[in-house]
A and B are shown apart, each in its own frame.
Chain A
């Protein structure tokens, strides 16, 4: 599903060149739910942006969902993103002037679907994420953080993408809402077989993901199967077992 080979990304800040990613090689199989972790500035979000086609690598090869992204033009990349990637952000990034349902409908405007069909799919996606029907026409400002993130997840899945990328989706939520969002992402992975890549600092996420990739200073340190990591974190933090959280 995701093949990254020797991917580097540099940013220029004044006279300095910052290596956000340094020859990262990574392979993620389809249908996996994985987390990218690491300290701030380690390159997690940059990696997420590159594998979702939002940003481009300066060096290396990126192939996602059978498409080599390195050779695509700006417009081709936009079309590819619209078809293959669902995006979830820390601050939800909903359009404040559009209702929940209109926000979810937004990516469908890039398809040939009729207006009633777009509406039907948007409502279905909102039902899947568990937003109450009476909230469908509310503006994002009238929704709680957890509800807004549900709307954002509905927007991410409404086009039935192969890949969902989520950049700190629980970073702005309280503990209960964060657990609900993680449970929802896990369910999308299990029930709908979506490949999900999550950037997070949240140790709770470890109980839901299947693998964790650690980055530091732009380098990929290791990929660990989640069971081992979860046990270690749960021991350290004393978080309750996963069944109780659900």
Chain B
């Protein structure tokens, strides 16, 4: 026996009280907007950092270093490590895929006059083979000892005048931009790559910050990492690149917790708004509730109908909020070229905001929760009304 109150009754009842419903939808939408934009930043940071790593790459740093900016690896160590067993070889040259790298963090000046640290990575040509996501989309790679640089797509967009042929100054010299690199939105796009010899010369020191290496397909990465750590000549450690960048993304974890906490606080406010709307709906429809009960509809049907109303309002808020969030993130990306965040290397990376399917799903679940929290008490009050009492109140 069908006992559900028709959905058409629920939907039309929602839109009967247009102003109150619209205001509640607006409050819900604002909460969803704020939470979704924050989440898009969280997932942007995660995407930028975590996706920077290659699944089969290891990073070798000094023991205890949290990032390659605070690490030092002697040249001798590089020379020894590159011949450790289990490292993949370049299919063309046959050379081990070990990229020795040095990083510095000079200031760059923004369009608004402010300055911030940018990560400059001194590399050898093998770096392009080890970091397989990185590719030159314009120009060419820097030649050795020529003062040439390639800049990431995000750097070129964020700092004025950084196009091919332009000159930029950092350290003690001028550098000529010869290429633009892309790396699938990862943090490499917020870096400047130069020849490591040039960087040594400019920084007046000859050592590496770290090594990146690709593990051979048939090799055991953990065994290779143990081999690096066990070498008593240098206090080094190796860890998967993915894990390294995941640790770098700790700020995203904190931001996610903060977003959830803010979402809960704002959500409590929004669910009170929904509750108020639903209590008003119950108050104004006591006669309808009494009539439905008198006609034979069960308490459960009444509860479900009023809960459905609250959920419809919450879902409308969700749709409006997510659409606004998509618009807001596109606008932020267009106007500010993404959001700048500080990495653990104290350098700036540009994060593109994007509302992912996961973010939208989170917003949906969040909205359902808000609708349920706001609708349950009024709906159960409606369901508890006895038909005689409800009809008497109307009379």
Contact = CB atoms under 8 A, between A and B. Distances in A.
Q: A and B: real partners?
A: yes
B288 A93 contact: yes
Given A97-B13, A98-B9, A110 B295 contact: yes
A27 interface: no
A97 B16 contact: yes
Contact of B287 (A87, A93, A110): A93
Contacts of B388: 49, 54-55
Contacts of B2: 109-112
B299 interface: yes
A78 B296 contact: yes
B12 A98 contact: yes
Contacts, number: 79
A81 B294 contact: yes
Give the contact-size bracket for chain A.
20 to 34
Interface residues of B, number: 30
Contacts of A78: 293, 296-298
Contacts of A82: 295-296
A203 interface: no
B391 interface: yes
A106 interface: yes
A74 B294 CA distance: 11
Given A54-B388, A81-B295, A82-B296, A91 B394 contact: yes
A45 interface: yes
A55 B387 CA distance: 7
B296 A91 contact: no
A109 B6 contact: yes
B294 A79 contact: no
Nearest to B5: A109
30 contacts: A45-B392, A49-B388, A49-B391, A52-B294, A54-B387, A55-B386, A74-B299, A78-B293, A78-B297, A78-B298, A82-B295, A83-B296, A87-B291, A87-B295, A89-B291, A89-B391, A93-B291, A93-B394, A95-B288, A96-B288, A97-B12, A98-B8, A98-B12, A102-B6, A106-B295, A107-B296, A109-B2, A110-B295, A112-B2, A167-B395
